[in-house]
Amino acid sequence: MHTNLELTERQHQVLRYIKQHIRELGYPPSIRDICTHVKIKSTSTVHNYLNSLESKGLIHRDRKLTRAIEVKDQAAETIKYAFPVPIVQHIQNGLPMLSTDDIEEYFPYPKTLIDTESAFFIRIKTDSQSDLGFYTGDLVLVQKQNQLSTGDIVISPVHQDQRYDGIRFWVFNASPTQSVTDVYSLIEDSSVLGKVIGLVRMY
pLDDT of residue 125: 82
pLDDT of residue 43: 92
* Of 3, 2, 23, 13, the residue nearest 49 (C-alpha): 13
> What backbone torsions phi and psi does residue 42 show, to the nearest 5 degrees?
-100, 130
Q: Per residue in 43-65, is it b (16+ CB within 10 Å) or e — as a string?
A: eeebeebbebbeebebbebeeee
Q: What is the mean pLDDT of residues 43-54?
A: 93
Q: Mean pLDDT for the chain?
A: 75
Close Cβ partners of 56 (under 8 Å, ≥ 6 residues apart) = 2, 3, 4, 5, 7
Q: What is the mean pLDDT of residues 77-99?
A: 62
Q: Outline which parts of the chain fall under CATH 2.10.109.10.
A: 84-200
Answer with the residue of higher pLDDT: 115 or 81: 115
What are the tens digits of pLDDT across the range 117-131?
678 888 888 888 788
What are the tens digits of pLDDT across the range 144-200?
776 777 788 888 766 566 555 566 777 776 554 444 444 444 444 446 778 888 898
- Cα separation of 5 and 10, whole Å? 14
Q: Are 118 and 197 in contact (CB under 8 A)?
A: no
- Three-class DSSP category at 90: coil
Please give the model's pTM, rounded to 2 decimal places.
0.57
Judged against a pLDDT cut of 80, whether residue 65 lies above it is answered with no
pLDDT of residue 183: 44
- Three-class DSSP category at 158: strand
pLDDT of residue 40: 92
What are the tens digits of pLDDT across the range 92-110?
544 555 555 667 888 888 7
**CATH match of 9-80 with 1.10.10.60:** no
Q: What is the mean pLDDT of residues 79-104?
A: 64
Q: Are 119 and 85 in contact (CB under 8 A)?
A: yes
Q: Outline which parts of the chain fall under CATH 1.10.10.10.
A: 9-80
Q: In the CATH hierarchy, which fold is given to the domain comprising 84-200?
A: Umud Fragment, subunit A (2.10.109)
Judged against a pLDDT cut of 80, whether residue 114 lies above it is answered with no
